[in-house]
A and B are shown apart, each in its own frame.
Chain A
Amino acid sequence: MTHAAAPPLPDAGPEPGILRAGLRNIRDMIRIEPKRFSIAVVGAMVNTAMQMSVAFIIGWVVSQVAVPAFENGEVGTGSVAIGVGALLGMSILRFSSMCARRIGSGTQMFQVQAHWRRQVTRRYLALPVSWHQKHPTGTLLSNANADVEAATRPLAPLPFACGTLFMLVLSMVVFFTIDWAIALVALGMFPALFTLNAVFASKMAPRAKRAQELRAAVSADGHESFDGALVVKAMGREAAETERFAGTAGELRDAMIGVGRLRAAFEPLIQGLPEIGTLLALLVGLTRYEAGAIGLGELVTVSFMFSILAFPIRAIGWVLGDLPTSVVGRRRVDGVLAATGDMAYGDRELDGTGPARLEFDSVAYSYADGTEALTDVSFTVEPGTTVALVGATGSGKSTLAHLAARLTDPTRGAVRFDGVDLRELTHRSLAATCALVQQIPFVFDDTVRANLALDREGIDDTRIWQALAAAGADKFVGDLEAGLDTELGERGTSLSGGQRQRLTLARALAGQPRLLVLDDATSAVDPKVESEILAGLKDSADAAGVLVVAYRRATIALADEVVFLEGGRITARGTHAELLETHRPYAELVTAYERAEAEREFDEETAA
């Protein structure tokens, strides 16, 4: 830290704050579900208290039953009955308290997990599309699953550990009441055990973190590879993909073996220490017995207590051991919960009916890295008209379509519906006014009907069939075995790309939007089918304004106006015929087909 402004190094050695962060995490989780936690802790305390009482009963049995029996050669029936009754009564208490502890701590942990999962997924839904584009699907999946699990992991052994702490305090009191010398042995052993557990936990932290990261990497590799399974198969790259996956899996294996070596070194010590303590207690106890300081029953009780304390004390170790992982998991979860960039919606509702007017007013859009994708874009889609956006790949057409549907906000300038800035509208009003159909169709794992209606008001089967017909999808949906009730499966894999595009188009039409934004939404549809759809759209064009990103000339020809984009700027506007004559780059782009054909004919002539 020579330089005052130098930021603290996050990864310099074991983090000193990890214990505090871990305890804060635990506090937060208890607050989410305090009732179940209390039940579990009370259960644990009763349970451990019962376990300690066993020590007394055993001590009592030896001194009051066994020794007299040994000395007198006969059994005191009354004493035996008391012992047996106490043992059985305690067994009932132990069973019910144990159930309270386990069910309480388990269900508390599951409640907290569900709570965070709900929160995390709510954030996913609330965060803007630009945020999603920056975060891989695999990471988001793992935030909602593995990270939440890791964060809550200490909750499972926590009530047990609380019960153990309670028992430790109680037993120290008992030791001191019985004899100070024996209490000193306990005072030496328990802190040593505690320290051993703490050292173990802190050494484990970085290794556990590494293993968790590698587990996420293995998951990401697997997910990606299976997503691209068709390409892997088509290129015969199964072996290479397996090697790649095995590489990551191998790293995970090595990391886990590292974790194992550490555990192998510490766990036997943690187990062995209390046993040595018990032997020492016996030795000290015997000298004290000899000195007449304690009785035989007390000696047995003390050594028994040492042996029963050994196991539960590990619960504290489990909690401590889970802390580092839980802190890592919690941080990732918090990362999602704290992510900003939410789109704030306004409170204005559009009350107009019929086609909406879309206006781009000096709109500019820059990516996070500063590159400008759109510069000073101004144009309008007048009510009921169709505007075609034309431009080469990467000229900013899709960004423009996203802005029109407010999937993202402009860096400068404004986008308006009927003169109202989109940022002032409610989400509901936005969604009801404008429908965007994207390049890559997305289909929910649900029925055809649910995919079209999306639980929006007023969309009945009649409306759905109308929309399907307008999108040219009524024929294939009619041919499906269960019709509208057909389950489409995850991502609609049972359909072809063109079928999926037509379904998503029908989804947009079913909502009877006042403005339709088509982002190259018919690219996977046959030309013949496409021309049918376009004819259908033209019929309903009196009800909606249309902004369409297009390549095909038939689509462009349908538009009342063409906006031509080059490098994020509008370089030409006008009708298709005007631009063909006046703007050369436009003419070159849209007449590419004709020129291809002309060149071929020319080739054939010269060859002949």
Chain B
Amino acid sequence: MSTDNATEREQERNEPGPFETLGRGLRLSPELRSGLAFTLVLAAITSIGRLVVPVSAQKVLDNGLFGAGGPDVRYVLGVTAIGIGVLAVTTASNYLMNKRLFIVTETALANLRRRTFRHIHDLSMLHQQSERRGSLTARVTTDIDTVSQFLQQGGMQIITSLAQIVVATAVMIVYSWQLALAVWVVFVPVSLLIKWLQKHLANAYSNVRKSVAMMLSAVSESVVGAGVVRSYGVGARTSQRLDTAIEDHRHNQAKAIRRSAFSFGAGEIVHFGVYAVVVVLGAYLVAGGDMTVGQLTAFLFLVTLFIQPVVTATEMLNEAQNAVSGWRRVLDVLDTEPDVADPVDGSDLPEGPLGVRFEEVRFAYPGGEEVLHGIDVEIRAHTKVAVVGETGSGKTTFAKLLTRLMDPTAGRVLLGGTPLREIRFASLRSRVTMVPQEGFLFNGTLAHNIRFARPEIGEAEIYVAFSELGLADWVDALPNGLDTELGEGGANLSVGERQLVSLVRAYVADPDLLVLDEATSAVDPATELRLSSALDAVTRGRTTVIIAHRLSTAETSDEVLVFDAGNLVQHGPHAELAAEEGSVYAGLHGSWIEQTRSS
């Protein structure tokens, strides 16, 4: 409990203030500032509209009622007509201001969404994995939605409220500077109180957003893992976890609304305090002849016109807390420097097949132990290399370093003689393709998924690609051929079929260096056989690195790299390595032979 409080205090100290965030946000979205001056002018005109009623009331009472010659209906008619005219103008300006506000904020926020989305993709794989997926989605959806809602409702009202406060003050001074002064004297300490309350609110809303993310995470787990929950009969446990997350979110929301109500209520109390002051002082001023009855009446209206925007602004500042927390999280993402970044002034890869060189490459996950201990190896262009080793030996890390999904902690990787860190991403990604362990398919047709690698490719070409890999009959057997919908994450296909599709996708990308990571592990032997003969043709003319679990792949490779506990322990053709008695590879090969032949 005490540690919880300590971390909460810590956060309170470390979180930048709302104005700092607002400033950062405006700097990053210059669209929001364009035409701001005009919007402010419109806001000022709009707020004048609010003065029509009190000023008319004063004119009617003082000149129409108590004026020389008794009540004057024609004068009052004139005042009413002018009042309605002014209202028409201010209503029009209100319309323009609202319209501008929506166009400007929506345009700016659509761009912010786009930039944040791109930035998240630019962050390194390690960084992406350290965040919960649901939270990343929240950055480009709900977080920006709260900002948009705030700017359109709260933001606008804050602007008009401020304008109204200024205009009301000006008119109050005209009627009675003494009363205006009194109103401000009451108002200033209140604004300080409000500011103090805001700080507590900020924390409450920040907790609300966090608990939403936790709740979404729990819901997504119960949905994605539905099969496991069902087959292990752990519905009660899962539902308890969900209830806890839901209840935690509700609790945080309730806490925030309580704090919000009290800080809003502070404004209300002041409202009446100010009335009281105006009544007392006003009565004496009227008695002393410093003020007319009409002026005092107008002033009583003006107090509402002054306090109401103050209360509204307070209210909106409350909502602003929510928006500011959302905005801050978005900006924090944008501020995160991608640790595997596209080099400035990077170079392009040389034409033709690519050779690879690892020089003293070491790698450790952040805060973890080293998993690769100084790898030195050269893979010649045009060769087909198999990487083998036990689980956790460093094979997959090797592949990720090779494709620059991660950067080594020491040493360097060279591709075609150029250090990987100096190669432009555009050049790197178009020439080097990796098929990860769990190839991800998108919700859409089969053709759509293949086009992911090359958008311009036609249906015929896609079909040819499948034919070249000996998979034409598989496509033909699908209900709608290339137009078959694959479902979310390729759910309509079996795991093996998903791997087929991601292989064809990589083939269509036509890279010079192809890296396959356990990509054929779930394909049945007959399909794999078809695929491997096709892959033989595919690998011709390019460099291929295959992380293989099946030693049949290693047997057909030009060279084999054997990893063991983060070290490259053997390197050479299959036959040579298998002959080295007592070696790691000979052991792996022995167990493989045993499995495939024992019957």
B is a partner of A: yes
Partner of B598, one of A289, A427, A553: A553
Interface membership of chain B positions 290-327, coded 1 if the CB is closer than 8 angstroms to chain A and 0 otherwise: 00110011001100100010000000000000000000
Are B216 and A145 neighbours in the complex by a CB distance under 8 Å? yes
Interface membership of chain B positions 219-230, coded 1 if the CB is closer than 8 angstroms to chain A and 0 otherwise: 111111111111
Q: Is A432 an interface residue (CB 8 A)?
A: yes
Are B297 and A227 neighbours in the complex by a CB distance under 8 Å? no
Q: Is B258 an interface residue (CB 8 A)?
A: yes
Q: List residues 101-134 of chain B with CB under 8 A from any CB of chain A.
A: 101-103, 106-107, 109-110, 113-114, 117-118, 120-122, 125, 128-129, 132-134
- Please name all residues of chain A whose beta carbon is closer than 8 Å to the beta carbon of B497 when the two chains form the complex: 393-394
Are B391 and A498 neighbours in the complex by a CB distance under 8 Å? yes
Q: Is A293 an interface residue (CB 8 A)?
A: no
Q: List residues 68-94 of chain A with CB under 8 A from any CB of chain B.
A: 69-70, 72-75, 80, 83-84, 87-88, 90-92, 94
Are A490 and B132 neighbours in the complex by a CB distance under 8 Å? yes
Q: Is A2 an interface residue (CB 8 A)?
A: no
- Please name all residues of chain A whose beta carbon is closer than 8 Å to the beta carbon of B226 when the two chains form the complex: 124-125, 127, 129, 132
Q: Is B374 an interface residue (CB 8 A)?
A: no
What's the nearest-Cβ distance from chain A to residue B372, in Å?
A: 15
- Please name all residues of chain A whose beta carbon is closer than 8 Å to the beta carbon of B225 when the two chains form the complex: 442, 444
Known: A234-B403, A557-B598. A65 touches B283 (CB 8 A): yes
Interface membership of chain B positions 480-510, coded 1 if the CB is closer than 8 angstroms to chain A and 0 otherwise: 0000000111010011110000100110010
What's the nearest-Cβ distance from chain B to residue A243, in Å?
A: 9
Tell me, in angstroms, the Cα distance from A232 to B509 when the chains sit together: 13
- Minimal Cβ-Cβ distance residue in B for A345: B233
Are B71 and A84 neighbours in the complex by a CB distance under 8 Å? no
Stretch at the interface among A96-104, A171-179, A193-201, A410-418: A96-104
What's the nearest-Cβ distance from chain B to residue A19, in Å?
A: 24
Q: Is B524 an interface residue (CB 8 A)?
A: yes
Q: Is A61 an interface residue (CB 8 A)?
A: yes
Are B279 and A282 neighbours in the complex by a CB distance under 8 Å? no
Known: A272-B49, A432-B233, A592-B529. A527 touches B591 (CB 8 A): yes
Known: A106-B253, A234-B434, A279-B83. A307 touches B304 (CB 8 A): yes
Interface membership of chain A positions 446-485, coded 1 if the CB is closer than 8 angstroms to chain B and 0 otherwise: 0000000011100000000000000000001000000000
Q: Is A346 an interface residue (CB 8 A)?
A: no
Tell me, in angstroms, the Cα distance from A198 to B32 when the chains sit together: 32
Chain A interface size, under 10 / 10 to 19 / 20 to 34 / 35 or more = 35 or more
- Minimal Cβ-Cβ distance residue in A for B256: A106
Partner of B272, one of A91, A103, A290: A91
Interface-central residue, B233, B235, B264, B528, by most chain A CB under 10 Å: B233
Chain B contributes a number of interface residues (CB within 8 A of A) equal to: 183
Are A133 and B491 neighbours in the complex by a CB distance under 8 Å? yes
Are B261 and A103 neighbours in the complex by a CB distance under 8 Å? yes
Q: Is A32 an interface residue (CB 8 A)?
A: no
Are B239 and A496 neighbours in the complex by a CB distance under 8 Å? no
Are A67 and B293 neighbours in the complex by a CB distance under 8 Å? yes
- Please name all residues of chain B whose beta carbon is closer than 8 Å to the beta carbon of A165 when the two chains form the complex: none
- Minimal Cβ-Cβ distance residue in B for A128: B230
- Please name all residues of chain A whose beta carbon is closer than 8 Å to the beta carbon of B73 when the two chains form the complex: 286-287, 290
Stretch at the interface among B195-203, B356-364, B546-554: B546-554
Are B95 and A268 neighbours in the complex by a CB distance under 8 Å? yes
Q: Is B243 an interface residue (CB 8 A)?
A: yes
Are B390 and A520 neighbours in the complex by a CB distance under 8 Å? no
- Please name all residues of chain B whose beta carbon is closer than 8 Å to the beta carbon of A280 when the two chains form the complex: 80
- Minimal Cβ-Cβ distance residue in A for B219: A144
Are B287 and A253 neighbours in the complex by a CB distance under 8 Å? no
Partner of A260, one of B103, B220, B491: B103
- Please name all residues of chain B whose beta carbon is closer than 8 Å to the beta carbon of A438 when the two chains form the complex: 227-228
- Minimal Cβ-Cβ distance residue in B for A504: B228
- Please name all residues of chain A whose beta carbon is closer than 8 Å to the beta carbon of B537 when the two chains form the complex: none
Are A238 and B122 neighbours in the complex by a CB distance under 8 Å? yes
Are A257 and B103 neighbours in the complex by a CB distance under 8 Å? yes
Partner of A267, one of B94, B140, B216, B599: B94
Partner of B232, one of A125, A456, A496: A456
Q: Is B98 an interface residue (CB 8 A)?
A: yes
- Please name all residues of chain B whose beta carbon is closer than 8 Å to the beta carbon of A300 when the two chains form the complex: 57, 61, 297
- Please name all residues of chain B whose beta carbon is closer than 8 Å to the beta carbon of A229 when the two chains form the complex: 120-121, 125, 128
Q: Is B262 an interface residue (CB 8 A)?
A: yes
Stretch at the interface among A5-13, A350-358, A594-602: A594-602
Q: Is B422 an interface residue (CB 8 A)?
A: no
Are B110 and A246 neighbours in the complex by a CB distance under 8 Å? yes
What's the nearest-Cβ distance from chain B to residue A108, in Å?
A: 10
- Please name all residues of chain A whose beta carbon is closer than 8 Å to the beta carbon of B233 when the two chains form the complex: 427-428, 430-432
What's the nearest-Cβ distance from chain A to residue B388, in Å?
A: 9
Q: Is B23 an interface residue (CB 8 A)?
A: no
Partner of B599, one of A80, A83, A125, A577: A577
Are B273 and A507 neighbours in the complex by a CB distance under 8 Å? no
Stretch at the interface among A180-188, A218-226, A376-384, A537-545: A218-226
- Please name all residues of chain A whose beta carbon is closer than 8 Å to the beta carbon of B242 when the two chains form the complex: 117-118, 121, 125
What's the nearest-Cβ distance from chain B to residue A18, in Å?
A: 23
Q: Is B343 an interface residue (CB 8 A)?
A: no
Partner of B60, one of A73, A128, A234, A286: A286
What's the nearest-Cβ distance from chain B to residue A507, in Å?
A: 7
- Minimal Cβ-Cβ distance residue in B for A520: B522
Known: A91-B269, A264-B95, A276-B84. A290 touches B279 (CB 8 A): no
Q: Is A240 an interface residue (CB 8 A)?
A: yes
Tell me, in angstroms, the Cα distance from A594 to B308 when the chains sit together: 85
Are A103 and B258 neighbours in the complex by a CB distance under 8 Å? yes
Are A70 and B247 neighbours in the complex by a CB distance under 8 Å? no
Q: Is B231 an interface residue (CB 8 A)?
A: yes
Stretch at the interface among B166-174, B425-433, B460-468: B425-433
Are B595 and A242 neighbours in the complex by a CB distance under 8 Å? no
Tell me, in angstroms, the Cα distance from A124 to B555 when the chains sit together: 48
- Please name all residues of chain A whose beta carbon is closer than 8 Å to the beta carbon of B57 when the two chains form the complex: 282, 300, 303
Are A393 and B524 neighbours in the complex by a CB distance under 8 Å? yes
What's the nearest-Cβ distance from chain B to residue A349, in Å?
A: 13
Are A141 and B272 neighbours in the complex by a CB distance under 8 Å? no
Known: A260-B98, A456-B234. A234 touches B433 (CB 8 A): yes
Known: A557-B598, A589-B526. A226 touches B137 (CB 8 A): yes
Stretch at the interface among B184-192, B346-354, B438-446: B438-446
Q: Is B215 an interface residue (CB 8 A)?
A: yes
Partner of A222, one of B84, B141, B440, B496: B141
Q: Is A580 an interface residue (CB 8 A)?
A: yes
Tell me, in angstroms, the Cα distance from A283 to B392 when the chains sit together: 87
Interface membership of chain A positions 255-299, coded 1 if the CB is closer than 8 angstroms to chain B and 0 otherwise: 011011101110111011001101110110011011000001000
Q: Is A435 an interface residue (CB 8 A)?
A: yes
Are A445 and B217 neighbours in the complex by a CB distance under 8 Å? yes
7 A-B contacts, Cβ less than 8 Å apart? A117-B246, A233-B121, A234-B429, A236-B430, A260-B98, A279-B83, A520-B495
7 pairs of A and B residues whose beta carbons are closest in the complex = A236-B429, A260-B102, A431-B233, A91-B272, A264-B98, A106-B257, A554-B595
Known: A124-B219, A128-B230. 14 other contacts (CB 8 A): A61-B300, A66-B286, A69-B283, A94-B269, A122-B239, A226-B120, A231-B502, A234-B433, A235-B505, A242-B117, A280-B80, A476-B391, A554-B594, A593-B550
